[in-house]
Amino acid sequence: MENRRSFLRKAAITGAVIGLSDSIVASAMSIPQSSKIALRERNIILFQGDSITDAGRNKENASPNTPQMMGSGYVLQAAGALLHQYAEKKLVIHNKGISGNKVFQLAERWDRDCIDLKPDVLSILIGVNDFWHTKGGNYAGTAAVYETDYRALLQRTKKALPNVRLIIGEPFAVKGIRAVDDGWFPEFDEYRTIAYKLATEFDAVFIPYQKIFTEAQKRAPGAYWTGDGVHASLAGAQLMASAWMQTVK
Amino acid sequence: MENRRSFLRKAAITGAVIGLSDSIVASAMSIPQSSKIALRERNIILFQGDSITDAGRNKENASPNTPQMMGSGYVLQAAGALLHQYAEKKLVIHNKGISGNKVFQLAERWDRDCIDLKPDVLSILIGVNDFWHTKGGNYAGTAAVYETDYRALLQRTKKALPNVRLIIGEPFAVKGIRAVDDGWFPEFDEYRTIAYKLATEFDAVFIPYQKIFTEAQKRAPGAYWTGDGVHASLAGAQLMASAWMQTVK
């Protein structure tokens, strides 16, 4: 406890000086150095997911490492941090998130948008639509379908790319903010649990976004971090990126 | 020296843990805590400048604190960091940079795009076009014109907003990258010197972007940080934002 307090004090002091205070993330997650993904020179990093990852990126003719490809969400903030912090490593960063995607839609485009890119590091954030879209009656998937589809996708990925290092983001929803009413719970929590379970199963680094957004609400209201309970605001995107940056070294 | 080394070691350790290593910025600038701008609750922060600040922002109907208003450059990265790091302060962040602007063009729109917004903190990055556009023969300004116009703009600002706290960014150009050939120097350096001089005159916090980009080139080539020598890449935007974040506390 004393060690942690002493560390946090040091972090706060240094953070103030170097311009980053990451107390929210620090209180929500702590990944041991040994569990972080060691980035290597010319590593290819791929972000995959739905609209939260997509964030309005240019899907026509954007190149890796450009703001155009990153969109305006957490991927842009994380990519900026990666390219700055690990400048010597000449990383190649892709964003292939697509709005509205559920796991089965990732699977449909997985060869082109993942396997063919040969990522060394693959970050996936998927699941909120797998639940959300059932609410409108246009999608009949269940948590069990999410689990089965997601596991199959990860197996297929590991088979094609045995050395890929995985990062799995927890699907999250901020209760009380627009789209996210009480009716989401506890059912939505199953999707979060499945993501965690699969992260363990596939030796992925897990990002507990739900807890991160919960911690963040001690600093500012939910609507500050997300406009609709599902999509991050600029503040929320930075929060997510800061958490994401904990997964690598 | 020992203190500095010990600080940098601590910063490196903590930075690794909290996800930011800012050694480039740290080696290029060091603003004493007492000189930093103390952000207060509900402070309005305005970014002003040319295309580097504009960065393709939505000029039609974007709200403060949104990625749409910030564009995809250093302002987006800085705004994200500000909103995350100072979440309790409920900051209101505007970007009003416009591509191609020189100082006299800022002056033409200054009432609407600065004074009327009543910023508490005003960050200006202007000057590269004041020099660059003379190369094409379509603009006849000189360094002396830049200085006169810029001083008048700052005087006008201080008169209308006596309590505004100023941040002045140094115009910069990365030699050898596309647009920036040897013919830029030493003439362009005069503009840098003027910006520094005015920062001192008006008690502004100065950001030495030229030195920052010079330091950055020890880590990766110039083309990594800027596509054309003038506009920052995503990596360069993050670098600039990290430097910018040093100006506030």
Residue B184: give its domain's CATH number: 3.40.50.1110
Q: What is the DSSP string of A49-86?
A: ESHHHHTT---SSPPTTSHHHHTTSHHHHHHHHHHHHT
pLDDT value of residue A17: 36
- Other beta carbons within 10 Å of B186: 8
Residues 6+ apart with CB under 8 A from B32: none
Q: Which residues of A142-157 are buried (b: 16+ CB within 10 A; e: fewer)?
A: ebebbbebbbebbeeb
Residue A72: list chain B partners with CB under 8 A: 67-68, 70, 72, 76
**Structure-model confidence comparison of residues B186 and B11, the more confident one:** B186
Identify the band that residue B3 occupies on the pLDDT scale cut at 50, 70 and 90.
low
Tell me the pairing of strands B92-95 and B121-125.
unpaired
* CA pair distance A37, A205, nearest whole angstrom: 8
Model confidence at A100, pLDDT cuts 50, 70, 90, reads very high
C-alpha closest to that of B167 among B232, B226, B101, B82 = B82
Determine the distance in angstroms separating the CA of A63 from the nearest CA of chain B, rounded to an integer.
12
Going by the DSSP 8-state scheme, the letter that residue B208 receives in this structure is -
Q: Does B182 touch chain A (CB under 8 A)?
A: no
Number of domains in chain B: 1
CA distance, residue A136 to nearest chain B CA (Å): 28
3-state helix, strand, coil in chain B (%, to 5): 50, 10, 35
The rounded distance, in Å, linking the Cα atoms of A176 and A228 is 9
Dihedral of CA B88/B90/B95/B96: which sign?
negative
CA separation for the pair B77, B55 (Å, rounded): 11
Q: Indicate the residue of B7, B67, B88 with minimum beta-carbon distance to A234.
A: B67
Task: Report, as an integer, the average pLDDT of B73-95.
Answer: 97
Range of the domain at B218: 2-245
Mean pLDDT value of segment A78-93: 97
- Does the model's pTM come out above 0.95? no
Q: How far is B12 from chain A, CA to nearest CA, in Å?
A: 9
Mean pLDDT of B181-194: 97
Residues 6+ apart with CB under 8 A from B207: B29, B125, B167, B168, B169, B170, B240, B243, B244, B246, B247
Q: How far is B245 from chain A (nearest CA, A)?
A: 5
Q: Could you give the CA distance from residue B181 to residue B174 in angstroms, rounded to a whole number? A: 9
Pairwise CB contact (< 8 Å): B21 & A85 = yes
Rounded distance between C-alpha atoms, residue B14 and residue B8, angstroms = 10
List, for residues A26-83, the tens digit of each pLDDT value. 999 999 999 999 999 999 999 999 999 999 999 998 999 999 999 999 999 999 999 9
Contact between B124 and B49 under an 8 Å Cβ cutoff? The reply is yes
Q: Which of A74, A136, A73, A133 is nearest to A102 (CA)?
A: A133
Helix (H) or strand (E) holding B79: helix B74-85
Query: Which residue from A minimizes the CA distance to B14?
Result: A11
Using alpha carbons only, give the angle B42, A243, B20 rounded to the nearest 5 degrees: 80
pLDDT band for position A203 (50/70/90)?
Answer: very high
Quote the pLDDT of residue A5.
54
Closest residue of B to A22, CA-based?
A: B18
- List the structure tokens of B54: 């504009």
B218/B224 Cα distance (integer angstroms): 11
Sheet of A44-49: strands edge to edge? A92-95, A44-49, A121-125, A165-169, A205-207
pLDDT tens for B85-120 read 999 999 999 999 999 999 999 999 999 999 999 999
Across the beta sheet with B165-169, what order do the strands follow? B92-95, B44-49, B121-125, B165-169, B205-207
Please name the member of A10, A80, A234 whose beta carbon is closest to the beta carbon of B10.
Answer: A10
Mean of per-residue pLDDT scores for chain B? 93
CA atoms within 13 A on the CB side of B102: 19
Chain B interface, mutation test: which of A4, A17, A205, most B Cβ atoms within 10 Å? A17
In the structure, what pLDDT confidence band is assigned to residue B13 with cuts at 50, 70 and 90? Answer: very low
Q: What pLDDT does residue B18 have? A: 35
Q: What is the mean pLDDT of residues B19-43?
A: 88
What b/e sequence results for A23-33 when a residue is b if at least 16 CB atoms lie within 10 Å of its CB, and e otherwise? bbbbebbebee
Question: Mind telling me how many Å the CA of A121 is from chain B's nearest CA?
Answer: 17
- With a CB-CB cutoff of 8 Å, which residues 7-66 of chain A face chain B? 7, 10-11, 14-22, 24-26, 33, 55, 65-66
pLDDT tier, A2 (very low <50, low <70, confident <90, very high otherwise): very low
* Better pLDDT: B4 or B34: B34
Counting beta carbons within 10 angstroms of the beta carbon of residue A106, is it exposed (0 to 12), middle (13 to 18) or buried (19 or more)? buried
Task: Lowest mean pLDDT of A2-11, A38-47, A130-139, B205-214, name the range.
Answer: A2-11
Nearest Cα to B53, choosing from B222, B171, B205?
A: B171
A87 → closest Cβ in B17, B18, B220: B220
Long-range contacts of A4-13 (CB under 8 A, 24+ apart): A7/B14, A7/B17, A10/B10, A10/B14, A11/B14, A11/B17, A11/B18
pLDDT at B49 over 80: yes
- For residues B40 and B232, the answer to whether their CB atoms sit within 8 Å is no
**Contact by Cβ (8 Å): A154, A202:** yes
- Predicted ipTM of the assembly: 0.90
Each residue of B113-162: pLDDT tens digit?
Answer: 999 999 999 999 999 999 999 998 889 999 999 999 999 999 999 999 99
Which 8-state DSSP code applies to residue A239?
H
Tokens of B245: 């974040």
Helix (H) or strand (E) holding B47: strand B44-49
Say yes or no for a CB contact (<8 Å) between A18 and B22.
Answer: yes
